[in-house]
Amino acid sequence: MKSARETLKAFYEGYQTRKLEEIDAFMTLFSQSEDVEMMGIGATEPGAYEWFKGFEAIKEIIISDWTYWGNVTFEVDNAHIYENGDMAFFTTYGTLTQNTDNSASMPFFKNQMKELLEKEEDASDQMFEAVHFGIRRLLEQRRGIGAEYKLVISGALVKEEIWRFIMLHWSMPVD
């Protein structure tokens, strides 16, 4: 059986090669349990922006990451991994390097901001989330290609026939 570290390494390699034609093979690294979830760097609460639950939702965001997100690197050999029975937990760190000019994405980001403002919650919370999102996108645009952002990645794996991700969380320190 693969070790939890080998699963993490296969995950890393998938984010390096980004071969969309191999997405189904890559997704075997994730449990198909209804409890599987992945939180992106903008996640704030379950069901909200960048908090993905379910195998298909995670597959969609990974396809988006591989298509639109910058270059991701992170430590595999020095990742802290704790295995206990059929569960493993890990933490690691890395970088996201912006590899495209996101100027053409501004209309897309504007629509995402509109979605944030249409959520049914406290108006102040909506405005704060939308403004934070918009400032982040503008900062990325201004910093340009080659800008690096620190990442922290943590998660849990479950031992099925191999170690598979059951929970994955990407985060970035606040600028």
62 & 33 share domain: yes
Mean pLDDT over the full length of the chain: 91
- pLDDT beyond 70 at 174: yes
138 & 162 share domain: no
Bridge partner list, 169: 39, 154
- Which residue type occupies 72? V
Supply the range of the domain harboring residue 70.
Answer: 4-100+151-171
Mean pLDDT score, 59-85: 94
54 & 125 share domain: no
26 & 112 share domain: no
Predicted pLDDT of residue 15: 97
130 & 158 share domain: no
User: How many angstroms separate the CA atoms of 58 and 168, rounded?
Assistant: 10
- For the chain, what percent of residues have pLDDT higher than 70? 99
Q: Look up residue 110 and give its two tokens.
A: 């504007």
Distance of CA 168 to the CA centre of its chain: 7
96 & 47 share domain: yes
Weakest-pLDDT range from 6-15, 39-48, 51-60: 39-48
Decide: pTM greater than 0.85: no
119 & 89 share domain: no
HSE on the CB side for 72, CA within 13 Å? Answer: 25
